[in-house]
């Protein structure tokens, strides 16, 4: 998915293609599950303000462990206490409030979507988190190890279908995609 970048008066005039962590096709599927690459999604890490009591406080509507859809369609995820990851939205808008530090993680994180009725079973082969309905409902966010890679796991059902977003540091992305795909092949 090409992302347009500002054209400077340099020698490049066409749009620069965004390289995914994966080599080839970013799609895999099996009995009741699909794995797709959504690494090109914009991702903005937002920290809570240094001034928590002032009107400069950044209200994002969710706390640690939950995700919600914002007005502009982006997914706001409380990934750690006092830290949020804004996924999607075009482009990610940095909150213009004092004391709020933001870091663009679009390039630094790979992101995959594991969806389908068998998605939970596939995940249970590589992740020790309790993903039963009450313990990991739609909108749940947690940090976990998936196939020995530190990841952020978000349950983000789409059109009623079970679906998880798995985010990891970019450099582990290819290994992670392969490991999850293998887990689906029994």
Partner 1 sequence: MLLVPCPHCGPRNSADLTLVGESESRPDPSATTPVEWRAYLYEEHNPAGWTRETWYCRLGCGRFFVTERHRGQNRFRNPPLGAPDESARRR
Partner 2 sequence: MSPQRLPARPGEVIDRDRALAFTWNGRAVSGLAGDTIASALAAGGCRVFSRSMKYHRPRGILTADYWDPNTLLQVGEEPNVRAGHRLLEAGMAVSAQNAWPSVRWDAKVLTNLGGRALSAGFYYKTFMRPRWLWPAYEKVLARFAPGGVIDAGSAPRRHDKRYAHPDVVVAGGGPAGLAAAVAAARAGAGVLLVEHEHALGGHLRWGTKHERSIAAALADAAQVAGVEILTDATVTGRWEDNWLAIVERGGAGGPERLIKARAKVLVVAAGLIERPYVFAGNDRPGVMLSQGARRLLNLWAVRPGSRAVVWSANTAGDAAAADLEAAGVAVEHVDARAGCTVAAAQGRRGGLEQVVLSDGTRLEADLLVTAAGWTAPTSLLNMAGVRPRYDPAAARFFPAEPDVPEAGTVLSTGGISGDGSLDELVGHGEATGRLAAARAATLAHRLQVATAWAAPVDGREPPEAPDERTPLGRDPHPELYRSSTDGIVDLSEDVSSRDLRHGAAEGFDSVELVKRWTTATMGSAQGKLETVNTVAVLADATDSTISEVGTTTWRPPFAPVTLGALAGRMFEPVRISSLHDLHVAAGMTPIQAGQWIRPEHYGDPAAEVRNVRTNVGIIDVSPLGKLDIQGPDAADLLSLLYVNKWRRLAAGAVRYGVMCAEDGVILDDGVTGRLGEDHYLMSTTSSGSGAMEVWIQNWLQTEHPDWRVRVTPVTDAYTSINVAGPRSRTLLERLVDDVDLGPEAFKYMQVRRGTVAGVAGCVMWRIGFTGELSYELHVPAGFGPHVWQALLAAGADLGVAPFGLEAQRIMRLEKGHFIVGQDTDALTKAPTAGLERLIKLDKPDFCGRPELQWALDGEPGAEDPEALPRLVAVQPTDPAYVPPEACQIVVAGSDGNERIIGRITSSRFSPTLERSICLAQVEAAHAAPEGTLTIVGTDGRRRSALIIAHHAHFDPEGERLRV
Binding site for partner 1 (CB under 8 A): 64-65, 80-81, 128, 142-145, 150
Q: Starting at the edge strand that comes first in sequence, how are the strands of the sheet with 109-115 ordered?
A: 27-30, 33-37, 109-115, 163-169, 149-155, 141-146
- SS3 per residue for 30-52: ECCEEEEECCCCCEEEEECCCCC
Extract the tokens encoding 130: 């309790």
> What does 105 bind: partner 1, partner 2, none (CB cut-off 5 to 8 Å by kind)?
partner 2
Query: Rounded to whole angstroms, what are the CA distances from 168 to 7, 10, 75?
Result: 30, 33, 17
Taking CB under 8 A as the criterion, the residue among 41, 74, 106, 163 binding partner 2 is: 106
Minimal distance in Å, beta carbon 107 to partner 2? 4
Q: Does 130 bind partner 2 (CB under 8 A)?
A: yes
Q: Does 75 bind partner 2 (CB under 8 A)?
A: no
Beta-strand pair 33-37/43-47: unpaired
Residues contacting partner 2: total by CB under 8 A: 66
Taking CB under 8 A as the criterion, the residue among 47, 57, 58, 94 binding partner 2 is: 47
Taking CB under 8 A as the criterion, the residue among 114, 170, 180, 181 binding partner 2 is: 170
Q: Does 68 bind partner 2 (CB under 8 A)?
A: no
Q: Does 97 bind partner 2 (CB under 8 A)?
A: no
Q: Does 25 bind partner 2 (CB under 8 A)?
A: no
Check if the beta carbon of residue 69 is closer than 8 Å to that of residue 156. Answer: no
CA distance linking residue 56 with residue 70, whole number of Å: 19
């Amino acid at each position: 998915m090409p992302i347009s970048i500002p054209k400077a008066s340099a020698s490049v005039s066409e749009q620069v293609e965004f390289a995914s962590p994966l080599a080839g096709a970013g799609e895999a599927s099996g009995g009741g599950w699909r794995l797709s690459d959504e690494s090109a999604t914009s991702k903005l890490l937002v920290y809570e303000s240094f001034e928590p009591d002032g009107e400069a406080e950044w209200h994002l509507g969710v706390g640690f462990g939950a995700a919600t859809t914002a007005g502009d369609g982006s997914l706001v995820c409380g990934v750690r206490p006092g830290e949020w990851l804004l996924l999607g939205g075009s482009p990610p808008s940095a909150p213009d409030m004092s004391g709020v530090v933001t870091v663009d993680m679009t390039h630094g994180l790979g992101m995959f979507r594991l969806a389908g009725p068998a998605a939970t079973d596939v995940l249970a082969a590589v992740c020790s988190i309790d993903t039963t309905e009450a313990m990991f409902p739609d909108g749940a966010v947690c940090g976990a190890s998936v196939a020995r890679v530190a990841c952020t796991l978000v349950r983000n059902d789409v059109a009623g279908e079970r679906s998880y977003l798995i985010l990891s540091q970019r450099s582990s992305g290819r290994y992670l995609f392969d490991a999850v795909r293998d887990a689906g092949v029994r």
